[in-house]
Structure 1
Amino acid sequence: MPGRGLSGSCVSKTASGSAKLAIHERGSRLDHRPPSIKVDKPWGRFEQYTHNLPCTVKIITVAPGGTLSRQYHHHRDELWVVLDKGAQIQLGEEVLKPEAGEKVFIPRGTVHRLSTPGEKEVRILEISFGEFDEEDIVRLDDVYGRVPQ
């Protein structure tokens, strides 16, 4: 989105071809996004997000009205692929409402939160790059009381 003070941000095209802000980035950390290639085949195409790298892959399902803690990680980057419409993603002070199929890269150290304000559950495919450990969640705010005192 040129002219809106978004230098250092990435614009990604959705399956429909419309350009949307899909990746939030901070300064020079853009160079640390995971490798990704698109390969066309006679039957269609595939997009490869990792090749022989240590990573963890999960599908996160957030119940209607649910919200994850506002958090960051010291030892891993995350790539979220939105599977269902209705997700709300907070990255720093910015709030994104991505469409299904959009990708959001979250570098380590970036404060983020995923929520579902609507009436349907939302699924996110999460690919974590780096050392994965559930103890690497630094919670800043949590509606379920999981922030250490």
Structure 2
Amino acid sequence: MSTTSTAPSDGERPSAAPALQESLAELIDLSLLGKQAHWNVYGKNFRALHQQLDDVVEFARQSADTVAERLVAIGANADGRASTVAAESGLPALEEGSLPDTTVVTFMVEAYTTTIANMRHRIEALGSTDSVSQDLLIGITAELEKQSWMFQAEMA
């Protein structure tokens, strides 16, 4: 019995794997930053932001898992270790301690802006090598844009 590989060819894999790994690191970092803000936010919009940050964390974790599984499906390795995430994520750092609600909103808009810009760059890079991975990142980016819009609405 023979099997047919549907994964990208060896020539395509080097282009797809780095884009997916970078996305994985950022999504893990986004989930951690969201949880850090969730624990430390205070202010008049505490409750709404507390719940909104739970949505951030849940989506980022689910998306990270999906991206990691795609990496393995194309024959690469997923690396979600803390040291890798710290080295590879391009997201801004969140200050420690108690965080006013306005600071959290501004930070999340910045984090989303960075993530979305990076995802769009990866989507473009994947266009000629792996349309399945590209489609995966397009779907994730659409939801990131929606969540970003919701934080931006808090700034109005």
TM-score by length of structure 1 reads 0.24
Higher Cα Rg, which structure: 2
Q: Which structure shows the bigger proportion of residues in helix conformation?
A: 2
TM-score by length of structure 2 reads 0.23
Q: Report which structure shows greater RCO (CA 8 Å, sep ≥6).
A: 2
